[in-house]
Amino acid sequence: MVEDRTYSCYTKRDPYTGREMQVARHSSGCSVTLLPRPGFVHSFAAVGIPYGSIHTQVVDSDGVKKSFPPGSAHFFEHMVFGEAGSEGSLFEQLSELGARANALTGYCDTVYYFVTIENVERCLQLLLDAVTEVDLLPASVERERAIILSELGLDRDSSEQICFTNLMRAMWKNHPAGEHIIGSEASLAKITPAILADFADTFYTLPNFSIVLVGDHEAETIFPKIMANLDSIRNGNRRHCRNSRFDSLPLPEPAEVAEKMVCVTRDVLIGQFLIGIKLPAPTLSNSFNSRDLLSLRLSGRLFFDSILGDTAPLFTKLESVGLVNDSFGYTWICENSFATLVVGGESADPAAAADAVKAELLAIGRDLTTHPNLDDYERQRRIETGDFIRSLDSISSTGMAATESVLSGSDLFDYALLYRDIDPAAVIRAMDFLSNEAYYCSSLVLAETRTH
């Protein structure tokens, strides 16, 4: 451990590849993770904040209860990137320096990132300045509101998005996972500059930030420069010195889904169907710890790849009778306070496809002793372990995975060890929620019947 006046630092080595990770923590609490890649031309940098769309009802570090309209996290992301000052928006400034930049708002976090081959330090400084000091001028807020409403309109023209939004809303009675990440017209109308300022004071403070950097950099050179920038930010605004801890308010969520089915008809060429299976735990008041969360994410991915992949019997069976096509797939959404499996795709007969998938998954859930085939499972485990190790050769893949890990309370090198240590029997026990029909919800988008 190397100590400094403003930060501490340690090094961790991946036992599989020998690659190193160096982690520093600024005295404010902000963490900086460096994954050195000597000889690589590109660099990746990200700033992550453990605040996303589900954090609408919280208690701050002073014990004050706060409520933010659904869509606030995504709205604030727009304010960071969209505000155009005398030197242009953040996106424009980064582009002029040769960086490709973007941002993602998820259920539990928000990530701002860029990839570049030059001006890394200047780009990171601009990004940090932007996320720590955001101008919330009324005119700027109204401009971004109009842009977000346009995004919402595009989503409502997409049968895939309609199907997913309806599914999540039907599954959750009280949990904010049922709200669209973008929000709604009604919630967006409630977002004001004052609300966004309170939002920044609550969540966008240095102790909440995590910085990840991947590329040809040396900790001895890059860490002092980043720490000096963080010192300047903290000294320039007192809110970056305060305790920024917050907790989500507990909202009682029943184990069963709120609605069993939702169905709409749209003018589309082919229908859509989704089946959602809700894990009855965790909840906002009883969340996963970081190790259990990461383990469930990986084990669930292995299990569902083995039963829902394009070579699995279930897909082959449904495709052979024309109920699904190659759009069929699954998403395993696994966050610290909720988890759900979403399965589906396009179908000429969405209702029949949904019924068939539901029946197959219930059958698997009620006979887990034969699913998956252990040889298939072990082969899939080796494949995914190899894929993970190979992904470390990609700057962007490594950077995004490392950022996701930090925001989940773990680190990138935990993945390989967990893949190695996953117990098939424990995975099977964790999947027994598939056997309970009360956890199932269907969302259908039917194609309008056309007459000539």
Per-residue model confidence as pLDDT tens digits over 319-357: 999 999 999 999 999 998 999 999 999 999 999 999 999
Output the pLDDT for position 4: 46
Split at pLDDT 50, 70, 90, the class of 165 is very high
Q: Which of 27-31, 81-85, 103-107 has the lowest mean pLDDT?
A: 81-85
pLDDT digit string (tens) for 192-207? 999 999 999 899 999 9
- As a whole number, mean pLDDT of residues 387-404 equals 89
Output the pLDDT for position 392: 83
Least Cα distance to 21 among 420, 332, 435, 405 occurs for 405
Q: How many CB atoms are located within 10 Å of the residue 241 CB? A: 15
Split at pLDDT 50, 70, 90, the class of 6 is low
pLDDT exceeds cutoff 80 at 161 = yes
- Select the more confidently predicted residue: 69 or 135: 69
Split at pLDDT 50, 70, 90, the class of 371 is low
Measured CA to CA, the distance from residue 59 to residue 44 in angstroms comes to 34
Length of the chain: 452
pLDDT digit string (tens) for 417-448? 777 777 777 778 888 899 999 999 999 999 98
pLDDT exceeds cutoff 60 at 451 = no
Measured CA to CA, the distance from residue 376 to residue 372 in angstroms comes to 7
Split at pLDDT 50, 70, 90, the class of 247 is confident
Q: How many CB atoms are located within 10 Å of the residue 170 CB? A: 19
- Select the more confidently predicted residue: 14 or 107: 107
pLDDT exceeds cutoff 80 at 380 = no
Assigned architecture for domain 2-248: 2-Layer Sandwich (3.30)
Measured CA to CA, the distance from residue 114 to residue 45 in angstroms comes to 6
Which residues make Cβ contacts (< 8 Å) with residue 173, sequence separation at least 6?
253, 254, 258
Give kind and range of the element (H or E) at residue 38.
none
- As a whole number, mean pLDDT of residues 69-80 equals 96
> Please, are residues 219 and 9 in contact by the beta-carbon 8 Å criterion?
yes
Residues forming CATH 3.30.830.10 domain(s) in the chain: 2-248, 261-447
- Report the share of the chain in percent with pLDDT over 70: 95
Domain 261-447 class in CATH: alpha beta
Split at pLDDT 50, 70, 90, the class of 450 is low
What DSSP state is assigned to residue 136?
-
Q: Which of 18-22, 88-92, 220-224 has the lowest mean pLDDT?
A: 88-92
- Select the more confidently predicted residue: 56 or 427: 56
